Amino acid sequence: TVRLTTVDTLAARIVAPALARLQETHPAIVVELVPDTRTLSLSKREADIALRMSRFEGHEVVARKVGMLALGIYCSRKWLDAANTSDVRLITVLDDQAHLPEAKWLRDLYPDAVIGFRSNSREVQVWAAKSGAGLAAIARYRADTEPDLVRLRTEIPDLTRDIWLGVHADTRHMPRVRAVMDVIIEALSEQQKSLNPKN
Model pLDDT, residue 85? 59
Query: Sorting pLDDT into bands at 50, 70 and 90, what band is 84?
Result: low
Query: Sorting pLDDT into bands at 50, 70 and 90, what band is 82?
Result: low
Angstrom distance (rounded) from CA 128 to CA 75? 9
pLDDT tens-digit series, residues 5-49: 999 889 999 999 999 999 999 999 999 999 877 777 787 888 999
Contact in structure between 40 and 13 (CB atoms under 8 Å): no
Per-residue b or e along 58-77, where b marks 16 or more CB atoms closer than 10 Å to that residue's CB: eeebbbeebbebbbbbbbbe
Query: Sorting pLDDT into bands at 50, 70 and 90, what band is 57?
Result: confident
pLDDT beyond 80 at 74 = yes
pLDDT tens-digit series, residues 172-190: 899 999 999 999 999 999 9
pTM: 0.90
pLDDT beyond 60 at 191 = yes
